[in-house]
Structure 1
Amino acid sequence: MQNLTEFPANETSHNRLSVIIKVCVVIPFFCIFLCLIAVMLHIFASHRQFLDTTRYILFANMLINDTLHLLSSVLLFLFVMGRVKFALVYCVPLMFFSINTFKNTALILATMSLERYVAIFYPLQRPAAWRSDRIWIIILSLWLISCISTIIYYSVGRINPALNILSTPVLCISGLVNSSPIQALLRAAVNILFFAVVAVVILFTYVRILLETRKLRQDKVSVSKAMHTVLLHGFQLLLSMLSMLAFTNPITETLIVLHANWLPEDITFFNYFCFILIPRFLSPLIYGFRDQSLRACIGKTFLCCSNKVKPSVRGKLQDNLLAS
């Protein structure tokens, strides 16, 4: 997201060892995340019951969105760390994609909370839009809303007239595209509006489900699980809110700059790692491994992989014994 694209571009403070350490920290996290996502998407594709459930469809959409966001943000991270320069016409779409998927995460969290609300209060009379065969309409609407807001955000910006967007090589950072004060103000307003609406939705659904838990004398287990799920959505929303520089910079500057002599690029990397990478890394762990059905399928998948590996290893050992 924009956090990543604002790494300072000061060559005098550029430390080669620091860059190597940062890359060696980010890439393993990203690879582990891709492995987890690949396993879960394989489970969704190979088990029909998941594709027929609205909750799992929304969860799969969130996994795909987080994967696309991390892919774009890690690419931007590597370009900045490697001082790779290219034309602005290639930089803007990549930044647009990163910002768009970042905003879409908040919308998906709100939608998943509303799905739990609908499942609890309208179990037999679920609206048509929330059925598994119609949920794609809501998903496309979320992508459309985030795209329109990002297009408006970019349309009010002004690019430096000295830059040729087709040929001038530049370092892909946010300051080249959103340098105007009006655009910065619009970005802050849109971000606050997005997260305020999502926070109200999650708080509303959590309170309603909590009140419903006290009324029901039976099936309290399913209602309690839904309440905990909504609470986890709120926790992840808080992490997403902190990922915006408007929230993270004052915190990190107070806790780090006053107590340690950190460089600005190190503080920005700390924000990126803690508030962009880790929340996306926790998503499959929180929503995947806590679900009994998914957890059982994940266990079977890894068990099958281990059973496939063991015979091959055993065969190699037998060949070595025969050869000796």
Structure 2
Amino acid sequence: MSKGNMQDTRYFEKKLRGYLFGTACADALGCSVELLTFEQIKQKYGEKGILELPPNSPWTDDTQLMLVLARALLRGAELELPELMNKIAEELVLWLDEPDLGAGATTRGAALSLKDGIPWNKSGISSKTCGSLMRAGILGFVYQNDPIKLVKVAQVSGRITHSHPVAEAASIAGAYAVKLALDGVEPREMFEPLLEVTQGISQEFTQALESSYRTAYSDVGDEEGLKKLGQGWYADETFALAYFCILRYPNDYKKAIQTAVNITGDSDSVASVAGGILGARLGIDAIPVSWIEALKEKEKLERMVGPLLEKYFQLSGSKLRS
């Protein structure tokens, strides 16, 4: 392997590990406070809320389902859309045998439909919840250099479980933001591309994205700004809250995630979306070593690094290695 190829591999390995561990650490930090109000979080952890990841912290269904999608991509990211969707459907059915880490009724219901033989293009449920968004970020890595396929796969793979336009737009935005992060686009400069790729899909999502951007650059404090954007149970709010945290702290993974989890709402999902995007942007070195060490089952993430990196270069490596 040439020196240039080795540098490429090391660079993208840091970015991939940043995405994987950035997602999982943020998810784990939010896990223990997801069902608490911010006032209850402060009562339990102090005025600033939860700040550090305790030892042996588990992740939730957010990371679990991202890994389900990642496994499907390893089996067929290069395939045409119908064949790839079949792989994703198969992995969702296999996921039903995994431990229940808190998956929503929409994702589980769609997976059960797939298991019963309902085709993937009819299995989706018209739900605005964030189950498809939270797993979509890995698409931004695998298809970084194929934005057309990235958008198509993000939208259609999201529909397998969540067929509502809000969820579709959010899934595209979640995946595309990771691609933009890898491209070196500053969070502030992501706004217009995100508007463009989600244009015409959901006015609700567009309004949420615009509100996130305006609020992040207003003079309101973090707590007030987050309250204004919602609680994150619906996909438009989830992405808006995550984007707000990224805009406020574009170069500080730890502070962005601490901000994301200390809310009244879907702390783990908001944080995992923000954590994946910032992890891809800043790389593994930006994530606190103590958080990585505290993460339960981190070896599962490590085992995905090599195969995903190989798949990435299989799809786009010719452009990097020429």
TM-score of the two chains, using structure 1 as the length reference: 0.29
Compare relative contact order (CA 8 Å, sep 6+) and give the higher one, 1 or 2: 2
TM-score of the two chains, using structure 2 as the length reference: 0.30
Larger Rg: 1
Higher fraction of helix = 1
